[in-house]
Amino acid sequence: MSNGQSRYPAGSARTVLFAIATDYGTADVNVVACARRGATWQQTLSTAGHVGSNGFAEPNAKREGDGKSPTGSYPLTEAFGEANPGTELPYRTLRHGACWGSTSGDHRYNTYYRGKCLPTDEDLTELMNDGPYQQVVVIDYNRLPHSPIVHGKGSAIFLHAGSGPTAGCVALARPELETIIKTLRPHDRIIMGPTRVLFR
């Protein structure tokens, strides 16, 4: 960040995460956390992670159900899970009936809601109880306030625990995930994609 190699600006972020793949088509990434220290940036964590089973989509090419993660820079707007581990992000403790809309054409597409989850939506409570969603950070892709919601462009892009490829989220080991979550504040960001797209 400090030497200007990133193609994406950090804005007012105090912490920037990178999810870096060697190229398109691979689900393996290096997750790097960098913290602002005055006018410079310091790497605070580096760990292995995974993205969509089909790797990264090219910029603006992500589609619902393609098994790819979006390429670009996105705010980390909020978090949810079983209990707040100490983050300064807005945090939602999940209760029964917590859902995330992934049904294109439905007015709840790519938003959190409570009620009976549609068959193609994510049952957040069930996923929390099963393990991967015990702690989650929302990557503000294709949703307000970062951008207008476009149906079919992809939904439910999160940072969560996991040991293998995802449907489009970024997954890493839970201890490292919780370390990261505790450092996050509003306006922090994630920059994600292949090396040649992210850096000069």
Q: Do 92 and 124 contact (CB within 8 A), yes or no?
A: no
Q: How far is the C-alpha of 110 from the C-alpha of 3, rounded, in Å? A: 35
Range 140-144 contact pairs with CB under 8 angstroms and sequence separation of 24 or more: 140/74, 140/75, 140/76, 140/77, 141/62, 141/70, 141/72, 141/74, 142/62, 142/70, 142/110, 143/110, 143/111
What's the CA dihedral at 114, 62, 73, 48 to 10 degrees?
A: 90
Predicted confidence band of residue 5 (pLDDT cuts 50, 70, 90): confident
Q: What is the pLDDT of residues 11-41, one digit of tens each?
A: 899 999 999 999 999 999 999 999 999 989 9
Per-residue confidence band for 55, with pLDDT thresholds at 50, 70 and 90? very high
101 vs 122: CA distance, rounded Å:
7
Query: Is the pLDDT confidence value at 4 over 70?
Result: no
What is the residue type of 17? L
Q: Which CATH number fits domain 15-198: 2.60.40, 3.30.300, 1.10.3470, 2.40.440?
A: 2.40.440
Whole-angstrom Cα distance, residue 159 to residue 169? 6
pLDDT in the model for residue 80:
98
Q: Is 82 left (phi over 0), alpha (psi -120 to 50) or beta?
A: alpha
Q: What is the pTM of this model?
A: 0.96
* pLDDT (tens digit per residue) in 86-125: 999 999 999 999 999 999 999 999 999 999 999 999 999 9
DSSP-derived 3-state class of residue 182 = helix
Q: How far does the chain reach from its first CA to its final CA, in angstroms?
A: 11
For residue 1, is pLDDT > 70? no
pLDDT value of position 160: 99
